[in-house]
Structure 1
Amino acid sequence: MTMRNCTLFYSFANYGLNKKGRRTGKATLIHSLRLKEQLELKQKYLNKSHELMRTKNEINVEWDSSLSHANLLDTPCGMVPLDTFTQAQRQQLLLDVVEPPLLSTVNTSDFGKIKSRAKYKLSDWIKNDSFCDAGIAFIKEILASEDVVNVQHSIYQFNLFDMKRKSQRTEQLVSYINAHNTLIDKPKTLNFTNFQEVLFKIPIVNGIGTDIVSGKEMMQTMKEFIVHFYPDYPIKLMLLHDDERLAHENTGAHVHAFISGQNALTGKYDLRIAQIKKVNEFLFKRDGMSATLFSETGRLNYEQAGDVAKHMQEMFYEFVNEHLFHPKNINAAFHPESVRKSEKRKQMRKEAKLAKRDRPFNYHTRLLEDVDSLEIKAKKLDDKISQREKVVDDLESKAAYLSENCETLIIKRDALEQQCIKQEAAFQQNQRRHSKKIRLEQEVDERLSTKRKEEKKLDESILLKQQKHTELDSAIAEKQSILDRLSVMATQALYPIQKMLEHMNNRLILKGRAGAAEFMQHIIKAFSADLPTELRKTLIKITNNTGDTELENALTRKDSQINDSFDM
């Protein structure tokens, strides 16, 4: 069986120990943990314009709160709904991720300065003062040590050397050792990564829903990937978001994992270097001796850093294919290089840095797309009405062929003028059909112009043809009766449906806000016995597709009442 190809979205972001990293890391965790109270406040990470303009409605548009039960949180007891955690518990989870253990940025900075000053003085002393070789070797050994140094033992040995200003230099040595021992399990710089956020998503365009790959399977695969490649860097937090979609969809679920930047064995904040090493292992295993490896010091230029990220994606694709996709007959593959370098791809990379509410593609735009789909369905209904109008035109042509006289042409002209006036009034109420109205007006004007020219030519022969067409009067009257009924049917079918679709569209836009109920009453009022049974059923189906259960039930009840009244 042929594999089904798809793409993945795998990305990661590092958040440093410094003030900026802690602020931005807190911002992403507030969103991931759905901390609504903090989202509604004017957070420090927002710029001035956001502080002034951010509202509850703007926050709610980031996800559908009615789907929050589908969000999951990975715990030692298994994967549980995020809704089972209170806002206070979620706040504690945020602090557990953002706050590095046993670390005070103020104290770390102070001890770092003390250590640097003491090291400079000791080094300068060795360089400029005459001192025995054993004493110099002793000082250098302490300066080079990366382990805890015994203060009392070092003081004892240091006092064995003969030197000037011994008490002053002993004090410098003690200051260095105390600062060194204090910082032994602390990062050398606050620019090191405190934690890393990893995102795993199957893009909606692939059409792979949770019925094929469940959210729990995605979370389990993400966990296995991290444990396999980075076992010494604990997963601080992992969540599944399944509320950034439309209610009738089952795609768009994605996993957020937050990995500690500190090695649990060594205490060093070296996740970035560990990932470079894993990339080198991956490349050597794949390409052998011809592999181009990266410096494991962590010093990479911009292009090299981008290549490392690309190879990390390749590692993830291979792992997901082997452990999740291939057993389901799915194969994850990268886009062709031409697509990866396209302007659209560049734009997507820029948008990835924006908050979700600022991206052109988010939960809010998905709602707008759903409204557009309803408009497409409405247009299809218009097309059906247009087909009926075409049937009317065909019948009119046959009547014109049978009559071929001035009276028939005059009646036809009047009918077309009345039809034009009614269509114009209906089309003015719907701006989305403005262009269609203009085209219809132009077509009607052209047809009227043609009919008037034909009328002028026929005026000269009216008197001669009146005597010849007496026998056709009854046939003409019958056909005209058919035309009148069809014209009335088309007009009556078109106008109520246009009004109801307009009210349904307005209600969908105002769903959950004031004004929606008023539009519902308009819809129910227009849903009357004057509508044919087929059109009433069609409108109920359209309401079902919008997901408006309240309106669908109301229309269904009224349809039953109408049908019961017909049966009596």
Structure 2
Amino acid sequence: MTGQIKETSMLYKRLNFSVSTLRKLNKSLKHSLRIPSKEIKKLQWDEALSHKNVFIVNGKQVAMNPQDGMSYIKETLKPFYAISRSKEKRQEDIETKGKYKYKIKKIIKEEAGNPVADYLEDLIERNDHIDPLQVAEDFNGFDLSRKAQKLKSVQNYIDLHNGIIQIEKPLDGRKTVIQEAFFKFPMHNQVDLSADFYISGIQDFYSKYFPDYKVLLTVYHGDELEAKGNKKVGDHPHIFIDCKNQRTGEYDLTEHQALLANKVIESIDFFKEYNPVNTKSQTYEESQIIGEALQELFYQHINDKFKNENIPIVASRVETTQESLELRKKLRLESKKAKEDRAFNLYTLREEQLAETTKKLENTQQEVKQAVVQKSKLEQMIDRKNSQILEQTEKLEQIEKTSKNRIDLLSNEYDEQKRKLDNIIAQEKIAKETVRVLEKKKTELEKTITAELEKHNKAIKALNAQIVNESPLVS
């Protein structure tokens, strides 16, 4: 790394969504997928910069319009809306599972004597959650015909089996099912990085620390501008994680994040005054501590990425206000008290929420004033654009009229030339037929002349012979 190193602060944040907060998740997905909504402010992004956005679904970059986005949201949320399925649907799954079980028994019969047969026998006898990733890994070690086709049948059986178990063990409506995360550099730092850096930065973080959880969606937003001008700021990625552990089938991402946070608390001096957090369920302040610990890891992750890619930037934690220092101090002290003695109880939480709401209201009122001014400017700009469009339309109409006249003339000329060409082609066809007939007559005439000539020669020869015979001998 050469040259002067730029220092910047950075924000990393998580948002947890449960079955009971699907409306909030729906709203967040709409924002991320740039789907217009009455609830979303129109000035949150610039449509003219929409080509800079990147959408990655299930690991593949895709084009995204509002219709595609709504379809994706519907398919993503459908399993959670239908979390309490009917007995009929459960019975249907059991019957389908039975069909795949029959297919697996046929595989067992075909592969008799092969270790895979015993493996599958044990698998269809299990009543607990089956790890589909482990089964796929195990299958790689078996030697059998049509392996991919047979593995597909086994995977379908596992999906139905695990789904039936999940229905029999209802999901807690408060359990986090999807987690959203994003990171962003403050606007005033003017950090300009590629979309690939942002996307790989957040994806690699989750891949490194939480590999057993599927990335549902990654979005890069490059369409946000500074409110007062055209500076390219506000670029950032969002990532949506399926909190269902692919190996255990449990929605336990937040528990694993709590375990990871405790490791950070034990190993980093900054957190030495913190107590370990509860890994099964967290209080409000414990959730904040987990967020701080994960942010610490994310700072390290991004700085390693800067270093590895020779980017002269370093992200440093900056305590911007005395208020943030006091809040952290309270969190450390409160985490050591009994729950009933903590200041961060429901009452004080509501007070904080009220103060926050009041502040948001004031900010909103200021935004409304700015929006009114912006609206006036936009209306003036629209009027100018409309005038320009009208002028251009009139020019285009004149060009269109002139072009139509020219096209008509060319069309008439084309028709005349085509008629002449058709006539020439017809005459050529007649001439070719005449030549063919004359050639045929010529050939026949040549044959007649040859025959007559041969007859003539024979007659002359015969006559000469007669003359010789009839002439008197000369003595």
TM-score with structure 2 setting the length: 0.51
Cα distance in structure 1, aligned partners of 2:217 and 2:259:
24
Which residues in structure 2 correspond to 1:168-179 (within 5 Å)? none
Instruction: For residue 85 of structure 1, report the CA deviation from its aligned partner.
Output: 2.4
Choose the corresponding residue for 2:311, options 328, 345, 363: 328
SS at match of 2:12: strand
Choose the corresponding residue for 1:92, options 38, 48, 71: 71
Which residues in structure 2 correspond to 1:344-355 (within 5 Å)? 350=356
Instruction: For residue 279 of structure 1, report the CA deviation from its aligned partner.
Output: 1.3
CA contact (8 A) 1:284 1:291 kept: no
Deviations, residues 34-62 of structure 1 (Å, cap 9, x unaligned): 123xx14xxxxx6xxxxxxxxxxx74222
SS at match of 2:44: coil
Identify if the C-alpha distance between structure 1 residues 244 and 102 changes in structure 2 by more than 3 Å, giving closer, same or farther.
Answer: closer
Deviations, residues 98-136 of structure 1 (Å, cap 9, x unaligned): 33379533559x99xxxxxxxxxxxxxxxxxxxxxxxxx
- 1:217 and 2:193 aligned: no
Deviations, residues 166-200 of structure 1 (Å, cap 9, x unaligned): xxxxxxxxxxxx9x964467554111112011011
SS at match of 1:328: coil
Identify if the C-alpha distance between structure 1 residues 6 and 295 changes in structure 2 by more than 3 Å, giving closer, same or farther.
Answer: closer
SS at match of 1:306: helix
- 1:317 and 2:302 aligned: no
In the alignment, which residue of structure 1 is the partner of 2:432? Answer: none
In the alignment, which residue of structure 2 is the partner of 1:160? Answer: none
Choose the corresponding residue for 2:206, options 206, 219, 226: 226
In the alignment, which residue of structure 1 is the partner of 2:235? Answer: 253
In the alignment, which residue of structure 1 is the partner of 2:216? Answer: 236
SS at match of 1:275: helix
In the alignment, which residue of structure 2 is the partner of 1:423? Answer: none
Cα distance in structure 2, aligned partners of 1:514 and 1:294:
61
Q: Could you tell me which amino acid in structure 2 is paired with residue 23 of structure 1? A: R
Deviations, residues 121-170 of structure 1 (Å, cap 9, x unaligned): xxxxxxxxxxxxxxxxxxxxxxxx9937xxxxxxxxxxxxxxxxxxxxxx
In the alignment, which residue of structure 2 is the partner of 1:510? Answer: 379
Instruction: For residue 334 of structure 1, report the CA deviation from its aligned partner.
Output: 1.5
Question: CA RMSD, aligned part only?
Answer: 4.6
CA contact (8 A) 1:15 1:196 kept: yes
In the alignment, which residue of structure 1 is the partner of 2:410? Answer: none
CA contact (8 A) 2:59 2:215 kept: no
Cα distance in structure 2, aligned partners of 1:59 and 1:290:
42
Deviations, residues 417-445 of structure 1 (Å, cap 9, x unaligned): xxxxxxxxxxxxxxxxxxxxxxxxxxxxx
Choose the corresponding residue for 2:56, options 51, 69, 74: 74
SS at match of 1:236: strand
- 1:6 and 2:16 aligned: no
SS at match of 1:513: helix
Identify if the C-alpha distance between structure 1 residues 360 and 199 changes in structure 2 by more than 3 Å, giving closer, same or farther.
Answer: farther
- 1:17 and 2:19 aligned: yes
In the alignment, which residue of structure 1 is the partner of 2:179? Answer: 196
Identify if the C-alpha distance between structure 1 residues 279 and 366 changes in structure 2 by more than 3 Å, giving closer, same or farther.
Answer: farther
SS at match of 2:276: coil
CA contact (8 A) 1:235 1:257 kept: yes
CA contact (8 A) 2:46 2:224 kept: yes
Choose the corresponding residue for 2:128, options 147, 157, 168: 147
Cα distance in structure 1, aligned partners of 2:252 and 2:29:
22
CA contact (8 A) 2:84 2:170 kept: no
CA contact (8 A) 2:213 2:244 kept: yes
Choose the corresponding residue for 2:255, options 273, 278, 286: 273
Cα distance in structure 1, aligned partners of 2:296 and 2:251:
24
Q: Could you tell me which amino acid in structure 1 is paired with residue 211 of structure 2? A: P
Which residues in structure 2 correspond to 1:155-174 (within 5 Å)? none
Which residues in structure 2 correspond to 1:112-127 (within 5 Å)? none
Q: Could you tell me which amino acid in structure 2 is paired with residue 8 of structure 1? A: M
Q: Could you tell me which amino acid in structure 2 is paired with residue 199 of structure 1? A: F
Instruction: For residue 25 of structure 1, report the CA deviation from its aligned partner.
Output: 0.5
SS at match of 1:250: coil
Identify if the C-alpha distance between structure 1 residues 358 and 97 changes in structure 2 by more than 3 Å, giving closer, same or farther.
Answer: farther
In the alignment, which residue of structure 2 is the partner of 1:395? Answer: none
Instruction: For residue 514 of structure 1, report the CA deviation from its aligned partner.
Output: 3.4
What runs of 5+ residues in structure 1 fail to find an aligned partner? 41-45, 47-57, 112-144, 149-177, 372-504, 521-568
Report percent identity of matched pairs.
22
Q: Could you tell me which amino acid in structure 2 is paired with residue 233 of structure 1? A: Y
- 1:34 and 2:16 aligned: no
Choose the corresponding residue for 1:298, options 280, 284, 297: 280
What runs of 5+ residues in structure 2 fail to find an aligned partner? 91-125, 130-160, 329-351, 390-475
CA contact (8 A) 2:182 2:202 kept: no
Q: Could you tell me which amino acid in structure 1 is paired with residue 301 of structure 2? A: F
Q: Could you tell me which amino acid in structure 2 is paired with residue 13 of structure 1? A: L
CA contact (8 A) 2:259 2:279 kept: no
Identify if the C-alpha distance between structure 1 residues 361 and 274 changes in structure 2 by more than 3 Å, giving closer, same or farther.
Answer: farther
Which residues in structure 2 correspond to 1:384-395 (within 5 Å)? none
CA contact (8 A) 2:85 2:167 kept: no
Deviations, residues 471-491 of structure 1 (Å, cap 9, x unaligned): xxxxxxxxxxxxxxxxxxxxx
Cα distance in structure 2, aligned partners of 1:193 and 1:35:
24
Identify if the C-alpha distance between structure 1 residues 343 and 27 changes in structure 2 by more than 3 Å, giving closer, same or farther.
Answer: farther
Instruction: For residue 312 of structure 1, report the CA deviation from its aligned partner.
Output: 1.1
Which residues in structure 2 correspond to 1:527-542 (within 5 Å)? none
Bigger relative contact order, structure 1 or 2, given CA contacts below 8 A and separation 6+? 2
Instruction: For residue 206 of structure 1, report the CA deviation from its aligned partner.
Output: 0.5
Cα distance in structure 1, aligned partners of 2:367 and 2:327:
13
Answer with 1 or 2: which has the greater Rg: 2
Instruction: For residue 216 of structure 1, report the CA deviation from its aligned partner.
Output: 1.7
Q: Could you tell me which amino acid in structure 1 is paired with residue 8 of structure 2? A: C
SS at match of 1:299: coil
Instruction: For residue 15 of structure 1, report the CA deviation from its aligned partner.
Output: 0.8
Deviations, residues 50-96 of structure 1 (Å, cap 9, x unaligned): xxxxxxxx74222111111111112467545xxx3233321222134
Q: Could you tell me which amino acid in structure 1 is paired with residue 178 of structure 2? A: F
SS at match of 1:514: helix
In the alignment, which residue of structure 2 is the partner of 1:208? Answer: 191
SS at match of 2:382: coil
CA contact (8 A) 1:16 1:195 kept: yes
Identify if the C-alpha distance between structure 1 residues 367 and 10 changes in structure 2 by more than 3 Å, giving closer, same or farther.
Answer: farther
Q: Could you tell me which amino acid in structure 2 is paired with residue 510 of structure 1? A: E
In the alignment, which residue of structure 2 is the partner of 1:63? Answer: 45
Count of residue pairs brought into register by the alignment: 292
Cα distance in structure 2, aligned partners of 1:511 and 1:360:
22
